[in-house]
Amino acid sequence: MSVDRAWELMARKLAGEASEAELEELDRLLKVNPGLHFPMQTLTDLWQQKAVADPGELEQAFSKHLRRMEEQGISFAANSTEAEEPATFRMSDSSRRNKPWKYIAAAASLLLVGSIIWYYSRPAIAEQHTGLANSRKDPSSEIVTKNGSRTRITLPDGSTVWLNAGSKLNYDKSFGLKLREVSLTGEAFFDVVKNPDQPFIIHTNRIDIKVLGTQFNVKSYPGEKTTEAALVKGSIQVDLHSEQSGKIILKPNQKIIVGEDSAADGSAKAGVAKLQEPIVSVRQMTIDEKDGTAVETAWVENKLAFVEEPFADVALKMERWYGVNISFSNPKLAKVPLTGSFANESIKEALHALSVATPFSYQFTDAKTIVIGK
């Protein structure tokens, strides 16, 4: 029954009719039904599909999404009507009887998306919305997660990526043909399918990571002082974007932290600018003593964890995790180290638990804005 309800809520979300309470309910249902992440992400990707200049590419992308949904056990048959009519979808009688809400909700969503595809496929509209025809020779796919949401995707080569809140993953349509390259802004956990002939490369703002087949986490949020890569299984090669360059090989349970050297160099001559080289540190991953979970990858298991991290850093994590905004009325509190682990707790429950261990006050100025004080 919870699966049927999840699809009903997803249809309302796509239609823009879901309330805040319904969105929270959908998030809870996805946590207890992780198998729904992929088919629902497929619907969302299709819904948000940007128009492309070549209608053939759009049709191919649409067909690819349908094939992926069929692989997940959600099968639809497209009915062709007149050339100028939007695509429609029908359900088999058995599917309608067995899982009505699941298929009705998904079909309703696909019907609306099909109308959008039909609309943008018309030559005049396509040129109006995308500029000169054929101006994008190599369009890329972009997957974005907002604060308060996380998702799992499967790349064309079969590799799986878990994308954390407030993150973005880009890859070209040629991915897997000659190269396997992606660009990451934010945080993601990769489970890369092994292919000795095609290394998998992740580009971030400070480092590039090259692998053949392994499991690892990468965190590179814009505005943060450090970029991290943590290895769970296999091996990865890290290349630095700096003058010192070089290659660093990580072993399982190791992580690399690359940060900016903002400290003043007392030996530098007055008036002579010193080139800032990154601070590079390789250390063991942080383990939560309570349950043995690695803090760096706990989010993949829907757990927000941190050990002896400054309150300011914890606040950033909580902002992305819960989709809120947090500020400090007392700057000293931002430096206080905190340790905690939360799975199903609300933002209020998490703040209350932290305030018991480390006394501080918090006030909600509205549903999404929190001020920390003492």
The domain segmentation of the chain, as residue ranges, is 2-130, 140-284, 303-373
Where does residue 263 fall: left (phi above 0), alpha (psi -120 to 50 degrees), or beta otherwise? beta
Could you list the beta-strand ranges (E) of 77-150. Answer: 77-79, 88-90, 140-145
Give the span between the Cα atoms of 87 and 334, in whole angstroms: 54
Report for 91-100, 125-134, 164-173, 263-272: range of highest mean pLDDT: 164-173
Assess contact for 142 and 44: CB atoms under 8 A: no
Higher pLDDT, 16 or 56: 16
pLDDT at 288 over 80: yes
Residue 139's pLDDT band (cuts 50, 70, 90): low
Identify any residues that bridge with 306 across adjacent strands, giving them in sequence order: 340
Q: Report the pLDDT value the prediction gives residue 150, as an integer from 0 to 100.
A: 92
Q: Report the pLDDT value the prediction gives residue 290, as an integer from 0 to 100.
A: 79
pTM: 0.62
Give the span between the Cα atoms of 231 and 237, in whole angstroms: 10
Q: Report the pLDDT value the prediction gives residue 336, as an integer from 0 to 100.
A: 95
pLDDT at 272 over 80: no
pLDDT at 192 over 70: yes
Q: Give domain 140-284's CATH number out of 3.40.50.720, 2.60.120.1440, 3.40.50.300, 1.20.1560.10.
A: 2.60.120.1440
Contact residues for 191 (Cβ-Cβ < 8 A; gap 6+): 159, 160, 161, 215
Residue 38's pLDDT band (cuts 50, 70, 90): low
Residue 271's pLDDT band (cuts 50, 70, 90): very low
Per-residue CA distances from 86 to 2, 60, 111, 116, 301 (Å): 31, 16, 8, 8, 40
Average pLDDT (109-131) is: 42
Give the span between the Cα atoms of 162 and 294, in whole angstroms: 16
Higher pLDDT, 52 or 368: 368
Give the span between the Cα atoms of 15 and 183, in whole angstroms: 30
The distance from CA 219 to its chain's CA centroid, rounded to whole angstroms, is 11
Q: Report the pLDDT value the prediction gives residue 364, as an integer from 0 to 100.
A: 95
Q: Report the pLDDT value the prediction gives residue 10, as an integer from 0 to 100.
A: 81
Using alpha carbons, select from 339, 310, 319 the residue that is nearest to residue 164.
Answer: 319
Assess contact for 28 and 140: CB atoms under 8 A: no
Give the span between the Cα atoms of 272 and 256, in whole angstroms: 30
Would you give the DSSP letter of residue 231?
Answer: E
Give the span between the Cα atoms of 281 and 70, in whole angstroms: 45
Q: Give domain 303-373's CATH number out of 3.40.50.300, 3.40.50.1980, 3.40.50.2300, 3.55.50.30.
A: 3.55.50.30
Percent of the chain with pLDDT over 70: 64
pLDDT at 110 over 70: no
Q: Return the exposure string of 200-215: e unless at least 16 CB atoms fall within 10 Å of the residue's CB, then b.
A: bbbbbebbbbebbbbb
